[in-house]
Amino acid sequence: MADQNKKGVITLEEYIIQAQNKFPGATGELSQLLRDIGLAAKIISREVNKAGITNILGEDGSTNVHGESVKKLDLFADEQLISALNRSEITCMVISEENDGIVELDNDGGKYIVYLDPLDGSSNIDVNVSVGSIFSIYMREHPGSDKLSETEALQPGIKQVAAGYVLYGSSTMLAYTTGLGVSVFTLDPSIGEFILSDDDLKIPEHGTIYSVNEGSYHSWNQGLKQYVKYCQIDDPETERPYKARYIGSMVADVHRTLITGGIFIYPDSSFYPSGKLRLMYECNPLSFVIEQAGGMAIDGGGRILEIEPVSIHQQTPIYIGSAKNVLKVKEFLDNYASESITA
């Protein structure tokens, strides 16, 4: 460990404390919250990595609020994250994909509200494909009030005070932002600590990968159909044709997009007229991260982070990634806006 420190290795906890010390008067509560999420992520990572030799694979037998089958690891991740947030007594409520309404924690006077997708991409668990946890943190607008309600949790993404994700893949990585750039950490299993990998990660301005489920092509609007055809046309001057990559786990697809550039798309369609992905605990936090890295995220028209939510489980289309790629797809969407979606 001494040799590692000589090389300038910084742990997640050390980094959070250093960042906190840059702001005189900081209470340290947000720092504690981020450390709690980091601890829960280590526990989840351990279970994900040994899932094949424990009785934690497969479905639980229940369904969540969206009617989707719940995996055993979904529930485990949900329990670990909520438990970690409850121990710190600074979070008053949690909204999770696995729970219908708000989850009130023991400290109803806590100043933070946390949205969670405990295990994004869980349909891939049983086939050993990368999954992840996504979190989004807001300040309570009326701390100390007697009654907790969903209304307090319905804040646009621009009001997030922090957001990020943990990716459980060939290595476990944690990326987060507090509005001052994106910091990325990699879990070193030999010492059980997240180690700083990049303290100001930037997404390439343009990328040559597009990520979308093309099996749903015939349900899309005409603008998106034409954009995908554009991506496939041979044009060396614009580095086309682009490569198609689609994992089916949003956090993994967006992480790849963040590192290599390009665009991830989950559109509205004749199957999902309002989109399928959840605004508050998938699209908002990942859009915050991508924007802080220099990218863009839109719902096809406007900025994701400016959407005024009406429901904690609200769905939205999303086009997210490198700025030039997102602007290009928006050109196509605008040009064909008058044409309706046909199955």
Binding-site residues from annotation for Mg(2+): 97, 117, 119-120, 282
Q: Return binding residues.
A: 97, 117, 119-123, 213, 246, 276, 282
Q: Fill in the DSSP letter of residue 214.
A: G
> Is the Cβ–Cβ distance between 281 and 230 less than 8 Å?
no
Q: Are strands 209-211 and 243-244 parallel, antiparallel or unpaired?
A: parallel
Q: By C-alpha distance, which of 236, 224, 231 is closest to 209? A: 231
**What is the rounded distance in angstroms from the CA atom of residue 205 to the CA atom of residue 321?**
9
Tokens of 96: 């999770």
> Is the Cβ–Cβ distance between 298 and 326 less than 8 Å?
yes
> Is the Cβ–Cβ distance between 327 and 334 less than 8 Å?
no
Kindly write down the DSSP assignment for every residue of 241-300, as one continuous string: SPEE---S-HHHHHHHHHHH--EEEE---SS-TT-SEEIIIIIHHHHHHHHHTT-EEESS
Q: Are strands 172-177 and 69-71 parallel, antiparallel or unpaired?
A: unpaired
3-state secondary structure of 116: strand
Q: Return binding residues for substrate.
A: 120-123, 213, 246, 276
Q: Are strands 209-211 and 263-266 parallel, antiparallel or unpaired?
A: parallel
Q: Which residue, chain included where needed, has tokens 């696995």?
A: 98
**What is the rounded distance in angstroms from the CA atom of residue 116 to the CA atom of residue 103?**
11
**What is the rounded distance in angstroms from the CA atom of residue 307 to the CA atom of residue 299?**
9
Beta bridge partners of 4: none
**What is the rounded distance in angstroms from the CA atom of residue 35 to the CA atom of residue 176?**
12
> Is the Cβ–Cβ distance between 137 and 31 less than 8 Å?
no
